[in-house]
Structure 1
Amino acid sequence: MTLHAAFAFFIAVYLLGLTPGPGVFAVIARGLGQGFWRTLPFIVGILFGNITWLTLTVFGLAAIATVLGPLFLGVKIAGGLYLAWMGLKMWRKRVTDSDIDAADEGLEQSLFRRWLSGYALTLGNPKPILFYLSVLPNLLSLDALAHGAVLAAAPIAAAGIACALIPYCLMASRLRAVLRSARARRRLNRTAGAMLMGAGAAVVAT
C-alpha cells in the first residue's frame, strides 16, 4: 500500500466515522449518560466491527453475506433492540441530589458487554457495509489486500474511526460533567435515552 493510498483511505474512513448515524448517536448518548471511560469499550467494539467488515469485503463479502444473510439480519435486529432497551433504562432512571456522584448502577456493564454492544451495532449498521463495498475497491487494490496488505489497512481503518468518534464522546462526557443538579441530570438521561432508542430504531429499520 502506497503512502498516498493509505492517507486517502484514512480520510475516507474518518469521514465515514464522522457522518451522523446510529454509531455516532449511540456514542454521544453513552458519553452523556455514562461518561468517557465507560463508553470507550463501546467505541473499541465499533472499531472491531469495522475491521470485520473490511476483512469480509476483502475476502468476498458478497458471497459471505448471501450465505449468512439471516445471521446478519438477526445480529442487526438484536443490536437495535439492545440499544433501544438501554435507552429505555436510561430514560426511566431516577436521579436525586444524593446520588449525582455515585456510579450509574443500573447502567453498569462488564467491559465485554460494552465492547460487544458496539461490535453488534456495527455488524448490523448498513453504513459501513455500503462504504466498504463501494468505496474500498476504488481506493485500494483488493487483490493486494487479499495477499497480506489487509494487515496494514485494518489499523488505518481503526484509527480513522477512532479519530472521528472519540471527540464526540469527549464532548458529550464533558457536557455530562457540567450538568451536576439532579434536575439537569434527569433531563440529560432522557436526552441520551431518546438518542439511544432512536439509534436502535434506525438500526432495526434500515
Structure 2
Amino acid sequence: MSFLSMLAFAGAMFLLAATPGPGVFATVSRALASGFSNASFVVLGIVLGDIVFLLLAIFGLKSIALVLGDFFVFVKYIGGAYLIYLGYKILSAKEHKMDIKGKSELSWKKNFITGLLITLSNPKVILFYLGFLPTFVDLNSLTSFDIVMITLIVTVILGSVMLAYAYSASGAKKLFKSKSAEKKMNITAGSVMIGAGGALILKA
C-alpha cells in the first residue's frame, strides 16, 4: 500500500466517517446528556466494533482473493454496486429534525458497551469494508504492515470524527438541529459512496 493510497484512503474514510448514522446520533445524544468524557467511551466502543469488522473483511477478502483468483472480480462488482446503492439511499433520504434528547447517566462500561453494540449489531459495516477496501488496496499483496496501517487509519480517523461530534455537541447543541446541515452531509456522503462504488466497478 503506497503512501498516496494511504492518504486517499484516509481522506475517503474521513468523509465517510462523518456520515450521520446510529453511531453519530448515539455519540451526540450522550454528549448532550452527560458531556464529552462520557461520550468518549461510546466512541471507543464504536471504533472497536469497526476494527473487528475491518479485520474480518481484510482477512476474509484476502482468503477469497487467493482461492478464487480472477473470479474475485465478481465480488468487487457486488461490492461496488452495494456502495452505489448506499449512496443512492443517502442522497434520496429526506431531511428530518434529529431527535436528540438527554439520557440518564450510565457508567463508562455501559457507555462503552453501547458503542460496541451499535456497530456489532449492524452487519452492513463489514459489507461496506468488503466493497470499499479493494478501491485502495491490492489484496493479493497485502502485508502485515499494510494491515496495521489500515487499522491505524480507521482508528484515528473514525475516532477523531466521532470525538469531534461529541465535542461540538457538548458545547453547541443547535449545530445538530439544522436540516440544511444534514442535507449537506447527506449529499457529501452519498456522493463519496457512489464515487467509490463506481471506481471499484471500473477498476481493472
Fold conserved between structures, TM > 0.5: yes
Taking a change above 3 Å as real, the CA distance of residues 62 and 144 of structure 1, as seen in their structure-2 partners, is: closer
Match in the other structure for 1:36: 36
- Distance in 2 separating the partners of 1:118 and 1:142: 29
Q: Does 1:125 align with 2:118?
A: no
Q: 2:172 aligns with which of 172, 175, 179?
A: 175
Question: Which residue is equivalent to 2:110?
Answer: 113
Letter in 2 for 1:8: A
- Residue 145 of structure 1 deviates from its aligned partner by 3.2
Q: CA deviation at 1:130?
A: 3.0
Which of the residues 128, 132, 135 maps onto 2:132? 135
- The residue number in structure 2 matching 1:51 is 51
Q: Displacement of 1:51 after TM fit?
A: 1.0
In structure 2, the residue matched to 1:81 is none
1:164, 1:21 → 2: CA distance? 13
State the partner residue of 2:160.
Answer: 163
**Distance of aligned partners of 1:88 and 1:18 in 2 relative to their CA distance in 1, 3 Å threshold:** closer
Question: How many residues end up aligned between the 2 structures?
Answer: 138
How far off its partner does 1:38 sit?
Answer: 0.8
Aligned CA distance change for structure 1 residues 126 and 12 (closer, same or farther; 3 Å):
farther
Alignment partners' CA distance in 1, 2:102 and 2:61: 36
For residues 20-71 of structure 1, what are the alpha-carbon distances to aligned partners after superposition, in whole Å with 9 as ceiling and x for unaligned? 11111111111111110011011011111111111000111699xxxxxxxx
The Cα offsets for residues 52-106 of structure 1, whole Å up to 9 and x where unpaired, read as: 111000111699xxxxxxxxxxxxxxxxxxxxxxx9983xxxxxxxxxxxxxxx4
1:159 & 1:54 partners in 2: Cα distance? 14
Secondary structure of the corresponding residue to residue 107 of structure 1: coil
Report if aligned partners of 2:49, 2:116 keep a CA contact under 8 Å in 1.
yes
Report how far residue 142 of structure 1 moved. Answer: 2.2
TM-score w.r.t. length of structure 2? 0.60
Structure 2 residue matching 1:60: 3-state secondary structure: helix
Structure 1 distance, partners of 2:11, 2:151, is 14
Distance 1:146 1:123, change over 3 A: farther
Q: Which amino acid aligns with 1:50?
A: D
| Contact 1:32/1:175 (8 A) holds in 2 | no
Percent of aligned positions that are identical: 33
Gaps of 5+ in 2: 64-99, 175-204
Aligned-partner Cα distance in 2 for 1:15–1:130: 18
Distance 2:35 2:123 in 1: 27
